[in-house]
Amino acid sequence: MKQFSAMVYARTMEFVRDRGTFFWNLLFPVVLVFGFAFAFSGNATLFKIGTYGIAPTGSDFTRIEQSQFIPYDAAKAGEEQGKVIDRLRRHELDMVIDYDAGAYWINEKGRNASLLRRLVHVDPAMASFTERRVSGDPIRYVDWFVPGVIGMNMLFSCLSGVGFVIVRYRKNGVLKRLRATPVSALSFVSAQALSRFLIVMVTSAFVFLGTNFFLHFMMKGSWLDLLLVMSLGILSMISLGLAFASRFKSEELAGGIMNLITMPMLGLSGVFFPLEGAPKWIGLAADALPLTHVTKAARDIMLEGSSLVAVAPHLLFLLAFSALSLVVASLLFRWD
């Protein structure tokens, strides 16, 4: 335990004393949150409309250029329609239309509700459709965005703070010297992981609470549930970093591989924009990434008030991913 505590302390102080890295980890996500909050504070001009079935022939409404129509499987209308209506209630969609049932749903509090209703009524092919109303308060973009940016900061901090650092240690001969000491590989790797876990947890909490003081994020669920999600998210990212750093000894190669991992993950995990309406293969690829599950679980808790039972599939994936990554890291790890 003395060896383990000494290594945790040494790695933590190495990070804290590196002032540039320390402040970058704190300030970059804060600037990102405020920047996106300002950039997307205005109203969007694009209508997002979920649809079931085939639109009537000659419908003018379907030819509105400012609209994005997102088709859903009519065969599963009864099974998934509740989830789609919930998206309308949360203002992720502006309208839902069931062409087969001759009905449309609209959010009474939606900023585009009145205009969309008029556009439907002036379309002869849809004038007879039945209107059904739902109600829900709007969700600001920053409320939707902040779980993603926290997850993104966790990803970069874990990969660079664990993976990249171990690669640097291997290149500089630090690992080779440690191999001559009584320190075991398991003890060394565990100390690195715990140190990074504490650092990322503290910096993420600082970013979230600091920006929340000014922006007042929507929080319908439990803070403890959110803390558990973030903890499992950090664990999965650290495990990925350990697996990534188990063999490399070139910082240039490690940097390239890290970009190869992180860039697709940022694009496919729904961090910046929702993937609603994206091709099916993108959804399948996104579901294989830990950042996707961290972001979705955090958003479900914050924006929908979901319980741990509701987000259990995401938590199970993160646990399984962490276990698999740790097994790979343990099998591939080399001191030199």
Tell me the per-residue pLDDT of 109-133, one tens digit each, with 9 for 90 and over.
Answer: 777 888 888 888 888 888 888 888 8
Same domain, 186 and 311: yes
Q: Which of 46-60, 75-89, 256-270 has the lowest mean pLDDT?
A: 75-89
Using left for φ > 0, alpha for ψ between -120 and 50, and beta otherwise, residue 108 falls in: alpha
Residue with tokens 């994206």: 278
The domain boundary, picked from 134, 155, 182, lies at 134
Q: Which residues pair with 107 in a beta bridge?
A: 134
Position 330 confidence tier, pLDDT thresholds 50, 70, 90: confident
237 near 325, Cβ under 8 Å?
no
Q: Do 262 and 286 have their domain in common? A: yes
* One domain, residues 291 and 241: yes
> What is the C-alpha to C-alpha distance for residues 265 and 174, in angstroms, rounded to an integer?
31
251-268 and 223-244 helices, crossing angle to 10°: 140
Q: Are residues 22 and 151 in the same domain?
A: yes
Q: What is the pLDDT of residue 22?
A: 61
Q: With contact defined as beta carbons under 8 Å apart, do 154 and 233 qualify?
A: yes
pLDDT at residue 278, rounded to an integer: 66
Domain that holds residue 101: 47-134
Mean pLDDT of 244-259: 74
pLDDT at 44: 47
Among 134, 155, 177, residue at a domain's last position:
134
* pLDDT per position as a tens digit, 4-28: 787 777 767 776 776 666 666 666 6
Does the pTM surpass 0.95? The reply is: no
- Whether 176 and 70 map to the same domain: the answer is no
Residue 77 has pLDDT above 70, yes or no: no
Higher pLDDT, 19 or 98: 98
User: For the chain, what is the largest distance between any 2 Cα atoms, rounded to a whole number of angstroms?
Assistant: 82
Output the average pLDDT for the chain.
Answer: 81
Mean pLDDT, rounded, for 55-69: 81
pLDDT per position as a tens digit, 203-218: 888 888 888 888 888 8
Give the residue-averaged pLDDT of 151-177.
83
Number of domains in the chain: 2
Segment (H or E) for 111: none
Q: 22, 44, 33: which is closest to 214 by C-alpha?
A: 33
Residues 153 and 20 in one domain: yes
Domain stop point among 92, 119, 134: 134
Same domain, yes or no: 130 and 145:
no
- Tell me, yes or no, whether 81 and 192 share the same domain: no
